Amino acid sequence: MKRANVIVIAALIGIMGLGGSAAADQSLKQQFDSLFTLASSGAIIYQDLVEPAKDSIAALGVPAVPLLIDKFSTSSARERWAVIHILARIGSPAVPLLTEALQRPDEKIVQRVCWALGDIKDPAAIGPLTAIRNHASWQVRDQVCGALGKIGQAEPVATETVVAALADSIGEVRKAAAVSCGKLLVQEAVEPLVGMLGDDFYGARFSAFDALLKLDSVRVVEVLTDSITGATLLQGNVACDLLARIKTDRALELLFEQTFSLDPSRRAHAAVALIRGDPEDLCGFYEFLYERELDRLTLLKMQSAHRAASHDSQ
């Protein structure tokens, strides 16, 4: 056994041998602090002690949880990660105290507790998490959505929470909500996610894009059919990229329809997406596109996409 493990285990034995008195509680706090110094250390000389120290604190179980929660007030990223790792190792027994901590006034602690609950993945945390979904701090709302997605249980209260958050005023929250809609396979989120393809925050926009690829493609194309013609330039162009990734017959037909747009930018984007979605021209659209298009810039974009598609298929 390595000397590092011997040191940490010896410290743990000392803690577990203590009684329940106030003096014992103080001694527990001192031992915890010593172990946590090792668990969160970035010093090379202590690198063999880091993981054994985390394991030793985790072995304490529930008594260590309040001390770990208090450590969430740290400004050190290394200490924050150490707390997350240890709580994940304690697992479900830590959830009751963590959910109680969601009511603390310190927003920094609350958002990090949400993060820890997401990593533990216990469905028992869903109710307490959704209870603070309208928290005044956007960072907390962001972490609530992220945690629900990580837990991965599509309970109605969880799906309602992430769908509602798609309309949050903060882009980071909308992004987290879109990611969780994809993880939870929330089919009722298709329409708002399609609307988010024109979101002014790129993170939310591309997270919505990725989420839609995980949902029912027939429904996604139906919604796009109803909305793409009247969409903003940004939303419509991103929708074209999405249709190229879906690649169903109807998706490619809808792309072809967009090549008739009066806007040369939309025609170009739709044509390029169509070439990417059907690189071997199985639908036979290429010749018609080239013969009909009069805009030189659009033709150049199509030719470039065609060459790239030909190269990728080789």
Q: How far apart are CA 194 and CA 269, in angstroms?
A: 17
pTM, full prediction: 0.86
Q: How far apart, in Å, are the Cα atoms of 178 and each of 110, 142, 165, 280, 302?
A: 21, 11, 8, 33, 31
Place of tokens 């996610």: 193
Per-residue pLDDT, 164: 98
- Alpha carbon 32 to its chain's center: 32
Per-residue pLDDT, 7: 46
Q: What is the pLDDT along the chain (314 residues), one digit of tens a residue?
A: 444 454 454 454 444 444 456 665 777 788 899 999 999 999 999 999 999 999 999 999 999 999 999 999 999 999 999 999 999 999 999 999 999 999 999 999 999 999 999 999 999 999 999 999 999 999 999 999 999 999 999 999 999 999 999 999 999 999 999 999 999 999 999 999 999 999 999 999 999 999 999 999 999 999 999 999 888 999 999 999 999 999 999 999 999 899 888 888 888 888 888 888 888 777 777 777 777 777 787 777 777 877 776 655 55
Q: How far apart are CA 41 and CA 123, in angstroms?
A: 32
Q: Are the C-beta atoms of residues 272 and 264 closer than 8 Å to each other?
A: no
Amino acid in the structure at residue 23 = A
- Picking from 106, 147, 140, the residue whose alpha carbon sits closest to that of residue 124 is 147
